[in-house]
């Protein structure tokens, strides 16, 4: 089956099977996804008016390609009828277009389109009528009156713009709780305040209810607070009479006994279930995941739940290479997992506003996110316990940067220089500033990330990981023993062996022979670190194997690591980068192909190209031929309507492998 036929089949499935989804956090979309089967076209300055006129009248436009949301112009095109040179359009605009049918169960209700994210400025037409002009990258809603049969959406974006997140078709009763981004005045949706104080929770709720009926309605808002087992911890009930075409705010507060606070070490979450009732029937429901916590910032300390904390964080700009910010929810969860696994507890967003999915992942993993957006859109985002304002009063949440560059394809010594430079700056910052440190998470224009743009860890990542304390009782996630050998053990290149570990002592073996057990290396450049590294003065003169054991204070081995000199390439191995999150439908993810020697070691010296091919309903978003970085080639794919109905193959130097899903 050709790639074109497979792609058209995927689009047909995406058109006919509108998927239903009910988010339990953040944006709360009770509706159907319109992610599948859009047309996308670029227009230069001379053809913009004609393209817009044709699309609004339902006519055909040459040069259109079919795309699936989320989408960006960086993504590789599978266009089957594009005009040569259309990618060179200058000075015009880009357009998205699709048709859809409103399901029968939505008829007679207030109908809206919810856009999770459009990059920069956009204009939206529904059924030929201009319905919205929106600026910025924040989500927004558009009400419209559907027509019988097919409805049509046209979205115009800037020359470098994109619909980088999902679009939802939502229907509500004319009496309903507003969407978080459906602002009436300066507020919309449901906002919660959940403060932890002396073993109990101080909970407050504010909800905006809209009455679009032509008659007065009496509405009751009832809510319950549930723990992770569904046990009710508290409840409340409020009644209002709302005039025709009017809205009203419901405010209430209660004390909740026996709560556990949300913390970076123990991110304990609760669920708010709010029901809006009229004439004895539930007409709308909202679910929000939140946590009780107490945060304060002073000139002397950052305090979380009564404890002073020193934060180690990352500067993050969301997005994948060649894809940009158009990545779905699962990709955001994978990045959050890598951040927490790397020993970091704080994210400083850079560039685009982080998505609701990313905030939900940070809620779950226990990662603080500094919120710099002070406008009214921040109100409902702060339902997320992970959100910490960049300032409280006149005191800023200050972090101090640690930026040292090293390309993932660089030499072992370059990568060691980066990790040791990061270590030295951490050591220098810790005694002077209370707030914390921050480095770049993923390579962007420069190579100063602790991971490459393709999410491959550098030695600096393992250094950061080793600074987290071990949880001996294994009650805290990501608090495992760490023992990583920062060496490739290559003859003539590997001089000295540095090991990053949070263990009490480390013993190193060279070709099965112990060269001693060491305590952490203490020096002026490491004295302030929670866990200085371990150093062994041994050089690689011939191919061999290093093995390290990490011991606790009772001399029990609790971690180990093995590194062998890489040999000649013999085989390939494909790994799907799941990072704690399952592969879903319409999921954008990285697939790594490792070049291995006969003993299963990654051949880090290999910089050959790997040719990928995808069969089934998945789609390649990167070019099919990818050059290895330190022995690993990375392809980015999008799954189809089924998460498992595809296979990906790789070949290099006569080696071949395939992985099925």
Q: Rounded to 5 degrees, what are φ and ψ at 72?
A: -145, 160
242 is a domain residue: yes
What tokens does 326 get? 């158009």
Listing DSSP states for 589-615 in one string gives EEEEEEEE-TTS-B-TT---EEEEEEE
Domain C-terminal end among 564, 588, 615: 564
Q: What is the pLDDT of residues 113-132, one digit of tens each?
A: 999 889 889 999 999 999 99
For the segment 170-174, the average pLDDT, to the nearest whole number, is: 93
In sequence order, what are the residues at sequence separation of 6 or more whose Cβ sits closer than 8 angstroms to the Cβ of residue 364? 267, 269, 336
H or E segment and range at residue 657: strand 655-660
Cα radius of gyration rounded to whole Å, the chain? 27
Tell me, yes or no, whether 581 and 558 share the same domain.
no
178 is a domain residue: no
Given a cut of 60, whether residue 485 has pLDDT beyond it is: yes
Task: Determine which of 329-333, 365-369, 377-381 has the lowest per-residue pLDDT on average.
Answer: 377-381
Tokens 């290559």 belong to 490
Q: Rounded to 5 degrees, what are φ and ψ at 354?
A: -65, 155
619 is a domain residue: yes
Tell me, yes or no, whether 387 and 442 share the same domain.
yes
474 is a domain residue: no
In sequence order, what are the residues at sequence separation of 6 or more whose Cβ sits closer than 8 angstroms to the Cβ of residue 571? 596, 655, 657
What tokens does 209 get? 């209810």
Q: Name the residue with higher pLDDT: 236 or 309.
A: 236
Q: Rounded to 5 degrees, what are φ and ψ at 89?
A: -60, 135
Crossing angle, helix 356-365 and helix 329-341, to 10 degrees?
40
Give CA separation, 468 vs 47, 435, 529, in Å: 57, 16, 10
Given a cut of 90, whether residue 332 has pLDDT beyond it is: yes
Q: Are 501 and 487 in contact (CB under 8 A)?
A: no
**Cα separation, 619 vs 505, whole angstroms:** 48
Domain C-terminal end among 220, 255, 290: 290
476 is a domain residue: no
Counting residues of the chain whose pLDDT is more than 90, the rounded percentage is: 65
Given a cut of 50, whether residue 1 has pLDDT beyond it is: no
Given a cut of 90, whether residue 222 has pLDDT beyond it is: yes
Domain count for the chain, please give it: 5
Q: What is the pLDDT of residue 476?
A: 84
Given a cut of 80, whether residue 82 has pLDDT beyond it is: no
473 is a domain residue: no
Q: What is the pLDDT of residue 380?
A: 65
3-state secondary structure of 405: coil
What's 106's DSSP letter? Answer: G
Domain C-terminal end among 262, 290, 318: 290
Tell me, yes or no, whether 421 and 557 share the same domain.
no
3-state secondary structure of 350: coil
Domain housing 242: 190-290
Does the N-terminal peptide bond of residue 70 adopt cis geometry, omega within 30 degrees of 0? Answer: yes
Split at pLDDT 50, 70, 90, the class of 3 is very low
Task: Determine which of 14-18, 183-187, 290-294, 463-467 has the lowest per-residue pLDDT on average.
Answer: 14-18
Burial class for 400, CB neighbours closer than 10 Å (0-12, 13-18, 19+): middle
Give CA separation, 569 vs 566, 583, 602, 609, in Å: 9, 29, 9, 13
Given a cut of 60, whether residue 473 has pLDDT beyond it is: yes
Distance, CA of 10 to chain centre: 25
User: Cα–Cα–Cα angle for 21, 646, 599, nearest 5°?
Assistant: 120
Q: Are 646 and 614 in contact (CB under 8 A)?
A: yes
Tell me, yes or no, whether 22 and 168 share the same domain.
yes
**Cα separation, 270 vs 268, whole angstroms:** 7
Given a cut of 70, whether residue 185 has pLDDT beyond it is: no
Residue closest to 571 by CA, chosen among 604, 593, 544: 593
Q: What is the pLDDT of residue 602?
A: 98
Given a cut of 50, whether residue 8 has pLDDT beyond it is: no
- For 38-85, where are the E strands, in sequence order? 38-43, 65-67
Tell me, yes or no, whether 262 and 314 share the same domain.
no
Question: Which residues are paired to 373 by β-bridges?
Answer: none
In sequence order, what are the residues at sequence separation of 6 or more whose Cβ sits closer than 8 angstroms to the Cβ of residue 322? 74, 75, 76, 621, 622, 636
Given a cut of 60, whether residue 173 has pLDDT beyond it is: yes
Q: What is the pLDDT of residue 30?
A: 64
Tell me, yes or no, whether 119 and 43 share the same domain.
yes
Question: Which residues are paired to 388 by β-bridges?
Answer: 370
Neighbours of 618 (CB within 10 A): 25
Tell me, yes or no, whether 550 and 576 share the same domain.
no
User: Cα–Cα–Cα angle for 293, 295, 299, nearest 5°?
Assistant: 170
Q: Are 633 and 627 in contact (CB under 8 A)?
A: yes
CATH of the domain at 493: 2.60.40.10
656 is a domain residue: yes
Task: Determine which of 392-396, 406-410, 450-454 has the lowest per-residue pLDDT on average.
Answer: 392-396
Tell me, yes or no, whether 332 and 265 share the same domain.
no
304 is a domain residue: no
Counting residues of the chain whose pLDDT is more than 70, the rounded percentage is: 88
Distance, CA of 193 to chain centre: 24
Tell me, yes or no, whether 328 and 433 share the same domain.
yes
Q: Are 574 and 593 in contact (CB under 8 A)?
A: yes
Q: What is the pLDDT of residue 217?
A: 96
Tell me, yes or no, whether 557 and 600 share the same domain.
no
CA-based torsion, 370, 372, 374, 379: positive or negative: negative
Tell me, yes or no, whether 575 and 541 share the same domain.
no
Three-state SS across 257-313? ECCCCECCCCECCEEEEEEEEECCEEEEEEEEEECCECEEECCCCEEECCEEECEEE
Q: Rounded to 5 degrees, what are φ and ψ at 540?
A: -90, 115
pTM of the model: 0.90
Neighbours of 424 (CB within 10 A): 17
**Cα separation, 627 vs 609, whole angstroms:** 4
Split at pLDDT 50, 70, 90, the class of 241 is very high
Give CA separation, 370 vs 65, 239, 437, 625, in Å: 38, 36, 13, 38
Tell me, yes or no, whether 456 and 500 share the same domain.
no
Split at pLDDT 50, 70, 90, the class of 398 is low
For the segment 643-658, the average pLDDT, to the nearest whole number, is: 95
């Amino acid at each position: 089956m050709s790639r074109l036929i497979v792609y058209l089949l995927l689009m047909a499935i995406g058109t006919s099977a509108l998927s239903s989804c009910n988010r339990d956090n953040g944006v709360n979309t009770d509706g159907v996804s319109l992610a599948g089967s859009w047309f996308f076209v670029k227009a230069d300055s001379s053809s913009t008016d004609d393209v817009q006129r044709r699309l609004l009248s339902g006519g055909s436009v040459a040069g259109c390609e079919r795309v699936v949301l989320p989408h960006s112009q960086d993504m590789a095109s599978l266009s089957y009828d594009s005009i040569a040179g259309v990618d060179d359009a200058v000075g015009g605009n880009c357009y998205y277009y699709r048709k859809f049918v409103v399901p029968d169960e939505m008829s007679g209700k207030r109908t809206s389109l919810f856009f999770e994210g459009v990059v920069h400025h956009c204009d939206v037409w529904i059924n030929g009528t201009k319905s919205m002009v929106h600026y910025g990258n924040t989500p927004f809603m558009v009400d419209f009156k559907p027509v019988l049969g097919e409805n049509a959406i046209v979205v115009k974006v800037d020359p470098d713009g994109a619909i980088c997140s999902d679009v939802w078709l939502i229907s509500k009763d004319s009496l309903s709780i507003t969407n978080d981004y459906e602002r009436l005045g300066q507020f919309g949706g449901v906002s919660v305040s959940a403060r932890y104080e002396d073993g109990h929770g101080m909970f407050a709720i504010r909800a905006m209810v809209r009455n679009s009926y032509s008659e007065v309605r009496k509405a009751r808002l009832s809510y319950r607070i549930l723990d992770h087992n569904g046990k009710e911890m508290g409840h409340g009930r409020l009644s209002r009479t709302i005039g025709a075409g009017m809205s009203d705010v419901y405010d209430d507060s209660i004390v909740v006994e026996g709560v556990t606070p949300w913390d970076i070490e123990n991110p304990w979450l609760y669920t708010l279930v709010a029901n809006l009732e009229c004439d004895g029937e539930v007409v709308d429901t909202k679910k929000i995941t939140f946590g009780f916590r107490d945060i304060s910032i002073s000139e002397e300390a950052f305090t979380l739940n009564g404890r002073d904390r020193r934060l180690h964080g990352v500067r993050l700009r969301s997005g994948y290479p060649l894809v940009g910010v158009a990545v779905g929810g699962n990709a955001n969860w994978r990045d959050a997992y890598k951040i927490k696994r790397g020993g970091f507890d704080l994210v400083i967003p850079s560039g685009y506003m982080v998505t609701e999915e990313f905030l939900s992942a940070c809620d779950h993993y226990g990662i603080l996110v500094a919120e710099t957006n002070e406008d009214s859109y921040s109100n409902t985002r702060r339902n997320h316990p992970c959100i910490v304002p960049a300032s409280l009063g006149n005191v800023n949440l200050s972090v101090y940067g640690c930026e040292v560059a090293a390309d993932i394809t660089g030499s072992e010594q370059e990568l060691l220089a980066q990790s040791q430079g990061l270590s030295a700056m951490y050591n220098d910052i810790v005694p002077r500033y209370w707030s914390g440190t921050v480095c770049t998470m993923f390579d962007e224009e420069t190579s100063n990330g602790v991971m490459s743009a393709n999410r491959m860890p550098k030695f600096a990542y393992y250094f950061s990981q080793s600074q987290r304390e071990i949880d001996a009782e294994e009650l805290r996630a990501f608090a495992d023993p760490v023992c990583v050998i920062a060496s490739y053990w290559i003859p003539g290149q590997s001089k000295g062996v540095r090991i990053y570990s949070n263990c009490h002592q480390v013993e190193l073996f060279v070709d099965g022979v112990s060269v001693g057990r060491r305590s952490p290396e203490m020096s002026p450049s490491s004295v302030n670190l929670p866990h200085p590294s371990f150093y062994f003065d041994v050089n690689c003169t011939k191919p061999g194997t290093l093995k390290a054991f990490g011991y606790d204070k009772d001399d029990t081995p609790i971690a180990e690591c093995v590194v062998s000199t890489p040999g000649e390439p013999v085989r390939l191995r494909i790994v799907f980068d799941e990072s704690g999150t399952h592969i879903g439908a319409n999921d954008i993810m990285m697939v790594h192909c490792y070049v291995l020697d006969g003993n299963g070691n990654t051949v880090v010296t290999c910089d050959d190209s790997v040719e990928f091919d995808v069969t089934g309903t998945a789609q390649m978003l990167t070019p099919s031929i990818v050059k290895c970085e330190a022995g690993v080639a990375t392809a980015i794919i999008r799954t189809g309507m089924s998460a498992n109905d595809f296979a990906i193959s790789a070949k290099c130097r006569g080696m071949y492998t395939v992985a099925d899903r």
